[in-house]
A = this chain, B = another copy of it.
Amino acid sequence: MIAPDPSFSQKSMHAIIIRMQATDNVAIVANEGGLPAGTALGAPHGDLTLREKVPQAHKVALVDIPQGAAVLRYGVPIGYAKADIPAGSWVHERLLDMPAARELQGLPMATVKRPTPEPLTGYTFEGYRNPDGSVGTRNLLAITTTVQCVAGVVDVAVERIRKELLPKYPNVDGVVGLEHTYGCGVAIDAPEAPIPIRTLRNISLNPNFGGEVMVVSLGCEKLQPDRLLPPGSFRNIPIRQPGESGSSASEQNDDKLDVVCLQDSAHIGFMSMIDDIMVTAKRHLERLNARRRETVPASELVVGVQCGGSDAFSGVTANPAVGYMADLLVRAGATIMFSENTEVRDAVEQLTSRAATPAVAEEIVRELGWYDQYLERGRVDRAANTTPGNKAGGLSNIVEKAMGSIIKSGTAPIAHVLSPGNKLSREQRGLVYAATPASDFICGTLQLAAGMNLHVFTTGRGTPYGLAECPVVKVATRTELAKRWHDLMDVNAGRVADGELTIEEAGWELFRLLLDVASGKKTWAEQWKLHNSLVLFNPAPIT
């Protein structure tokens, strides 16, 4: 239903217009400054010429649209013609009756049936295979923390590990303190407290950390280490103590949590805390250092996609290219997550209709309904209506805006839905709706918890976003941004608007780049060591 239609992303004379799907009766003018009246749209559109000036990123009618008929973009109705709209007209929001924002009742549930596309085989990357079968794209020592109280101490320890230990373990890519603001001074028994707690737990288990878990705890915090990581929730590689024989030691230690507790009475003075963290880190670094990349199928990718700092071209170039990439990943048997509740909410029926089963559609409704209530409780209006800036950018309404975000998900059926903070099982593959807030950092943090080993981020205005935990591939929507931020943007999807590249080509380029980055190629954010904070989603009050 929202398949990009690459054959229409092409340059004809000087006019560059982009239609998202073959059934669309409108297309977007990509030319800078828009196009004047009389411009011929060229080959695929026969002898169509513009009846009036159409600004950049705004819509043009490709056929006569009679009064009352649906204006179709992304293959869905984004409004209904108030009067006849002749082909070649500028289709702006004043010509349209808006479709009402959808309530969560009476939605089409798993109604779209689509032939399963041919599997994509033979694509591989060089990754770190973990004991649980998952695959890391980086080999990182993560230090889990239970509470903000320990963050200052962990920062000092991480700095020393970086300087004094990492040079001795050349196969380890880095060390990350998993710091956060949760753990105490929070309503830890509130109905929603499980969300931040499981988020922290599951981030500790991210495939990029090799299954090694070490924790720095204060001692008196509400979030005790065994509440954060209860027995059975993790499985360390067996720790062999000096002198112990192999097998018995393994059995004893593989579910014992490796905790440095600062309030432990054995700690005399600050340096004893640092030394203890260093000694513990060393144990895990030894094992991480023994790991080697091996060839694994592309199906081991767990990719989270997101957009932020969006512009009028996000839904035209970068997001459709990511959508095409998403379809390739699904065909390759990989996992691809899209998210951002408030951005998809106004086109909810596109999600429920694309659900693989009615049960999956129900889960979508449940997650978005829960989020509606969360916003209501905070007395925030759910309807994220288009802003004046959006309209100036050519977005007629909230459905069109939501479709520009949803198109990142491509065309595959939605196979699974994930609640915030939960982790995907190895069996949950294909296209996943990971229900998260749209906030870039909260969404990224929740996708890390879900098990993401590669992050793709599209941006039109530009953001230097980066994560210490996982590579972030940044995709620019416009060539101007890609050129100006030449050493921050990894891919320029703006070439689609320039008529240099089809969406299909951009999607393939992204797919191939993902395999390279997963194999170790550094992103720009990694080159510059740009690391944003983990930000937990805590819907419960603090105390």
Contacts and interface: CB of A to CB of B under 8 A. Distances in A.
Interface string A431-470: 0000001111111000000000000000001111110000
A179 B378 CA distance: 25
Interface centre among A156, A529, A532 (most CB of B within 10 A): A532
A181 interface: yes
A220 B465 CA distance: 14
Interface pairs A-B: 6 shortest CB-CB: A185-B439, A152-B530, A378-B541, A220-B461, A187-B380, A181-B535
A152 B380 CA distance: 30
A94 interface: no
A414 interface: no
A43 to B, nearest CB: 35
Interface of A: 148-153, 155-156, 179, 181, 184-187, 190-192, 218-220, 262-263, 265, 267-271, 273, 308-309, 342, 374-375, 377-380, 384, 437-443, 461-466, 484-488, 524-525, 528-533, 535, 537, 539-543
B464 A262 contact: yes
A179 B151 CA distance: 15
A540 B148 contact: no
B384 A156 contact: no
B342 A543 contact: yes
B152 A543 contact: no
Given A156-B529, A181-B535, A462 B219 contact: yes
B149 A440 contact: yes
B442 A542 contact: yes
27 contacts: A148-B440, A148-B532, A149-B308, A149-B440, A149-B464, A149-B532, A150-B464, A152-B530, A152-B532, A153-B464, A153-B530, A181-B441, A185-B437, A185-B438, A185-B442, A187-B380, A218-B309, A265-B484, A269-B484, A269-B486, A270-B524, A374-B541, A378-B540, A378-B541, A380-B540, A380-B543, A537-B542
B440 A533 contact: no
A269 B463 contact: no
B530 A185 contact: no
Given A156-B528, A464-B153, A270 B309 contact: no
Nearest to A180: B533
A456 to B, nearest CB: 17
A356 to B, nearest CB: 28
B543 A384 contact: yes
B530 A184 contact: no
A484 B440 contact: no
Given A464-B270, A525-B152, A530-B153, A185 B484 contact: no
A461 B179 contact: no
A151 B533 contact: yes
Contacts of A537: 542
Contacts of A441: 148, 181, 185
B533 A148 contact: yes
B532 A151 contact: yes
A246 to B, nearest CB: 37
A488 B273 CA distance: 11
B187 A378 contact: yes
A418 to B, nearest CB: 18
Given A185-B440, A375-B541, 12 more contacts: A148-B535, A153-B530, A155-B531, A156-B528, A156-B530, A185-B439, A185-B442, A187-B380, A263-B461, A374-B541, A437-B543, A438-B543
